[in-house]
């Protein structure tokens, strides 16, 4: 789209200087927008990166680290960008097989 401010401005008295403006406005559609690459991470990587800012030092943080370590072990270090329903079902099934009494809480934690 091209337009000139002179075409929308009130007329000015003649002067000895000629001034003109030209604007060129371009709009990008969403197809042309910069796309962000979604990286895959393992639960172990995510835990190492964020546990320090998500939990204060103490027994709760130690328990969370242990619990996430067990889930990471179940996932065999699989890297993901989306935690799928199939992954959740696999983790819950394995925890049930192990007789883990905390397995119902994982569903609330991951959803």
Q: What is the pTM of this model?
A: 0.55
Domain boundaries of the chain, sorted by first residue? 41-110
- Per-residue pLDDT for 86 more than 70? yes
- Per-residue pLDDT for 3 more than 60? no
Q: For 47-80, how does the pLDDT look when each residue is reduced to its tens digit (9 = 90+)? A: 999 999 998 999 999 999 999 999 999 999 899 9
Q: For 9-50, how does the pLDDT look when each residue is reduced to its tens digit (9 = 90+)? A: 555 556 566 666 666 656 555 655 566 677 899 999 999 999
Q: How far is CA 30 from CA 25, 37, 39, in A?
A: 16, 16, 21
């Amino acid at each position: 789209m091209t337009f000139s401010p002179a075409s929308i401005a009130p007329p000015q008295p003649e002067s000895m200087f000629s001034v003109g403006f030209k604007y060129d406005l371009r709009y990008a559609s969403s197809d042309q927008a910069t796309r962000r690459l979604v990286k895959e991470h393992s639960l172990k990587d995510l835990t190492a990166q964020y546990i320090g800012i998500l939990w204060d030092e103490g027994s709760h943080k130690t328990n969370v680290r242990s619990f996430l370590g067990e889930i990471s072990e179940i996932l065999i270090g699989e890297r993901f960008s989306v935690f799928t329903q199939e992954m959740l079902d696999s983790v819950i099934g394995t925890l049930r097989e192990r007789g883990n009494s905390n397995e119902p809480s994982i569903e609330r934690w991951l959803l």
